Amino acid sequence: MVTPTGSRHADASALEALVDAAAGILAADSLSDTLGRIAHHLAALLDYDELSVYEVDRAAEMLVPVFALGAYADEVMADAFPVTEGVTGWVVSNRRTRNVERADQDPLVAVVVGTEMEPESLVSVPLLVEDRVVAVLNVYRLGIGNSFSDAEVAQVERFATMAALAFDSARQRDTLREQARTDGLTGLLNHRACHERLGEEIARAAALDKPLSVVVLDLDHFKTVNDAYGHAEGDKVLVAAAEKLRSVVREGDVVARLGGEEFALILPGVDALRAEEAAERARAAIAEVGVGGSALSCSGGVAAFPEDAHDAARLLELADGALYWAKRSGRDQSRRYDRRFAGQLSGDGQRAEIEALLAVEGSIVPLFQPVLELATGRVAGYEALARMPGGPFRPPDQWFNQAHRAELGPALEAAALKAALQVPDRPERTFLAVNVSPGALLSPEVRAVLPDDLSGIVIELTEHELFSTEDALDRELVALRARGARIALDDAGNGYAGLQQIIRVAPDILKLDRSLVDGVHADPHRFALLEALISFASTTRAAVCAEGVETFEDLAVLASMDVTYAQGWLLARPGAPWVPAA
C-alpha cells in the first residue's frame, strides 16, 4: 500500500512536533516547570480547552492534583480524592487510557467540588514508568461534538510516554533537593537551607526597610539525656522539641535545626525586643517536653538585622554567640547580642585567659569543612578550623589575635594544629589543609607538632602576614615541600596581597577570597579579577580553590572556569571529622 504524500508529510510533522516537545519537556529543571511545559507542548500537538495532572500518592492512596489549566483550575487543585474514584482512578487501576466522548453523561466521572457538570469530552491517559502509574494526564474539550479522535488519542499517548519520564525524573530531582534541605529527623530545614533562607529574608527585609531577627536555641545538658536514656530516646526529645517550636511561631516564620540539639528561628518583621519575647515563648514551649519526669530547659541567643549584622552568616554567628553567653550565665535563659561582650578582658587578664585555654586538654575542638573537587564532585580534602570557648563573640580570629598580643600566638596555633593533626582515619585520597601564620610557621612550637611526613597536608598561609621574615620563610617553604607538603596562599583577591607576594610564594593552591567569589555571577569586575587569578594559576600550574561559595549561581560560574576546588556553606558547613558534603 502506498502512503499518500500528504499523509507522509503529516506524519513527519507530527513526529517533529513530538521530538520538539520531548526536548522542551526534558529540559525542565523542576516538577512545576515540567508540568508547565507539558501543558505548553501538548497544546502544539492538539487543541484542548482544559487540562489537569493528578499524581498518584501510593502511601495515602490518594490522587493529588499537581497542575490544572482552565476556568476551574483553583477548584481542581483543591480537590484530592481516593485513588479508586472517578475516571482518573479507573485509569490508575487499569493502567490504560480512557476516551470519554460525553464526560457529563459518564457515570464514572466524578464532579470536582465547587464546579458544575458541563458538556465536555475527556481523554485520560496514564503516565507510566516501568509499568507503574506515577500520574494521570486529563485533557478536556468543552461542548458537544468535540470528542477526541483515535488519531488524537494515539498522539496524546505517545506524548504521555515522554511526559511520564520527564515527570518522574523531575519529581526525583525535587525530592533530592528537598532532602538536601531538610533535617531527616525533625523535618525542619537543615543548616544549609536555614542559611539560604535567612539570606533571602535579609534581602527582602532590606528591600522593604523592615527588621528581622534570629533566635538560636540549644537544649541544656542534652548529652546527659542521651547518656541516661539512649540516643533513640534523645531523638524523640529532639522531634518533640521541633514540634513545640513549630507550634509557637507565626505563619511566615522559619524553624530550622542547625545540628545536634541546636535550633534556629528566623523571624521576619520582628525587632530585637520582640525577638527576645519570642525566644522566651519558645523556651517555655520546649519546657513542656518532659524527660524522665523533669522539664526540658534550653538557652537562647538573639541577634537582629540591621543593627547587629547585614549578612546571614554573621547574624547566625552573633545569635550563636549570644547563646554562649546565656549558657555561660547559668543556662535556662536567653540573651540578646551585645557587642560589649566581645572584649571584656585586657592586659594581664588576656594573657592569663590564653594560658588557661592552653592548660585545658580538649579546649580547642577541631572542625573540618569539606573541600569539593568541582570536576568530579568528590570530597578532595578538608580544611581544619578551630572552635574555642566563647562562640562567635570570641571567634577563633579574636583568640589568635589576643594570643599574638600576649606573645602566645605560636603556642595557640601549635595547639590548634596539634588538635587537627591528631584526628585519625582521614579518608584515603583526601588532603588536610591547616592554617598557619608565617610567623608561627617559623616558631619552635609549630615545628614541634608538624610530622616529618607531610604528604597529604596543605599548609595555608594568610597573605597579609607573609613578609616580615622573607628569607627565613622562603627557606622554610622549600623544606616543607621537600617533606611532601603543599603550600596554599589564603585570601587571594581581598586586597591584602599583591601579585608580588603571590609570585614569591608560588603557591601550589591559590585560595580565592570569599569577597571575590560572593556575587561573581552578577559582577563583571569580580569575574575579570577571578579570570586573571585563574589564568595566573594555570600558567604556574597551581590549583585554584574558591572559598565562601554560598549560591548555586556563583557555583555554576566557578564550575565553568578552571577552578579546581570549592568550599562554603552551600556545599558543607564545618563539622565533625570527615563528614561528606551535603
Query: Is residue 306 reached through a cis peptide bond, with omega within 30 degrees of 0 on the bond before it?
Result: yes
Is-contact 89 177, C-beta < 8 A? no
One domain, residues 401 and 483: yes
Flag whether 185 is in a domain.
no
Where are the strands (E) in 46-108, listed by range?
Answer: 50-57, 62-69, 81-82, 98-100
Which has the minimum average pLDDT: 36-45, 144-153, 342-351? 342-351
Query: Strand 543-546 vs strand 565-566: parallel, antiparallel, or unpaired?
Result: parallel
Claim to verify: residue 160 and residue 226 sit in the same structural domain: no
Residue 573 lies in a domain: no
> Average pLDDT for residues 246-255, to the nearest whole number?
95
Is residue 574 included in any domain, yes or no? no
C-alpha 385/C-alpha 162 separation (Å) is 49
What percentage of the chain exceeds 90 in pLDDT? Answer: 51
Per-residue confidence (pLDDT) for residue 213, from 0 to 100? 97
Reported as a single tens digit per residue, the pLDDT across 522-565 is 888 888 888 888 988 998 999 999 998 988 899 999 999 989 99
Q: What's phi and psi for 532, nearest 5 deg?
A: -65, -45
- List the domain range (segments joined by +) for residue 332: 191-343
Domain boundary among 328, 343, 358: 343
H/E stretch holding 234: helix 231-248
Residue 559 lies in a domain: yes
- Is 110 in the same domain as 25? yes
Query: How far does CA 22 lie from the centroid of its chain?
Result: 31
Q: What is the torsional sign of CA 193, 199, 201, 204? A: negative
Question: Do both 352 and 448 map to the same domain?
Answer: yes
Give the CA radius of gyration of the chain. 30
- Residue that wins the pLDDT comparison between 33 and 223: 33
Is the pLDDT assigned to residue 341 strictly greater than 70? Answer: no
- Average pLDDT of 324-348? 74
* pLDDT at residue 3 tops 70: no
Phi, psi of 79 (to 5 degrees): -125, 85
Q: What are φ and ψ of residue 251, in 5° steps?
A: -65, 130
SS3 (DSSP) at 557: helix
In the predicted structure, residue 346 carries a pLDDT above the cut 50? no
* pLDDT tier at 2, thresholds 50, 70, 90: very low
24 has a pLDDT exceeding 80? no
- In the predicted model, what is the mean pLDDT of residues 236-254? 95
- What backbone torsions phi and psi does residue 544 show, to the nearest 5 degrees? -120, 130
What's phi and psi for 574, nearest 5 deg? Answer: -55, 140
Give the pLDDT confidence score for residue 470 in this predicted structure.
65
Residue 274 grid cell: 520582640
pLDDT at residue 508 tops 90:
yes
Q: Can you give the CATH number for the domain in which 129 is found?
A: 3.30.450.40
CB-count exposure of residue 150 (10 Å: 0-12, 13-18, 19+): exposed
What CATH number has the domain bearing residue 265? 3.30.70.270
Q: Are residues 42 and 155 in the same domain?
A: yes
d(CA 492, CA 259): 31
Give residue 342's pLDDT band: very low, low, confident or very high (50, 70, 90).
Answer: low
pLDDT over 70 (residue 392): no
The least confident of 106-115, 138-147, 221-230 is: 221-230
Determine the average pLDDT of the residues in 195-208: 92
The C-alpha atoms of residue 120 and residue 123 are separated, in whole angstroms, by 10
What percent of the chain shows pLDDT beyond 70?
A: 89
- Spatial distance between the Cα atoms of 349 and 370, rounded to a whole number of angstroms: 36
Report the pLDDT averaged over residues 101-117: 87
| pLDDT score of 369 | 93
Boundary residue ending a domain (179, 212, 244) = 179
**302 with 414, same domain?**
no
Which pLDDT value is given to residue 438?
86
**What's the per-residue H, E or C state across 171-228?**
HHHHHHHHHHHECCCCCCECHHHHHHHHHHHHHHHHHHCCCEEEEEEEECCHHHHHHH
- pLDDT band, residue 9 (cuts 50/70/90): very low
β-pairing, 81-82 vs 486-492, is unpaired
Question: What is the spatial distance between Cα 317 and Cα 278, in angstroms, rounded to a whole number?
Answer: 19
Residue 184, in any domain of the structure: no
Q: What is the mean pLDDT of residues 301-307?
A: 95
Q: Which pLDDT belongs to residue 466?
A: 47
170-180 residue pLDDT tens:
888 877 777 77
Looking at residue 424, its pLDDT comes to 93
In terms of domains, do 413 and 456 share one? Answer: yes
Which among 287, 317, 303, 221 has a CA at the least distance from the CA of 260?
Answer: 221
Residues 356 and 330 in one domain: no
H-helix or E-strand spanning residue 447: helix 444-449
- List the Cα angle 218/219/225 in 5-degree steps: 145
Task: State how far the Cα of 117 lies from the Cα of 108, in Å rounded to an integer.
Answer: 13
Residue 488 falls inside a structural domain: yes
Are both 425 and 518 inside the same structural domain? yes
List, in sequence order, the alpha helices (H) in 69-183. Answer: 73-77, 86-94, 150-181
Give the type of residue at 516: L
E strands, 337-393, in order: 365-373, 379-387
Neighbours of 343 (CB within 10 A): 12
For residues 335 and 410, membership in a common domain is answered with no
Kindly report the pTM of this predicted structure: 0.48
Question: By the 8 A CB rule, do 292 and 316 touch?
Answer: no
523 in any annotated domain: yes
Asked whether residue 300 is domain-assigned, the answer is yes
* Span of 231-240, 358-367, 462-471 with lowest mean pLDDT: 462-471
Domain count, the chain: 3
For 49-87, write each residue's pLDDT tens digit.
Answer: 999 999 999 989 999 999 999 999 999 999 999 999 999
What does the alpha-carbon distance between residue 576 and residue 582 come to, in Å, rounded to a whole number? 13
What cell was used for 459? 599548609
Of 315, 343, 371, the one marking the end of a domain is: 343
Q: Which of 543, 556, 545, 551 is nearest to 569 (CA)?
A: 551
- Indicate if the pLDDT at residue 271 is higher than 90: yes
Looking at residue 497, what is its pLDDT?
Answer: 46
Residue of 378, 293, 377, 282 whose CA lies nearest to 334: 282
pLDDT value of position 393: 47
Q: State whether 401 and 493 are in the same domain.
A: yes
Inter-residue contact 229 to 247 (CB < 8 Å):
no
Q: Which residues pair with 263 in a beta bridge?
A: 217, 257
CATH code for position 479:
3.20.20.450
Tell me which of 493 and 467 has the higher pLDDT.
Answer: 493
Pair 332, 478 in one domain: no
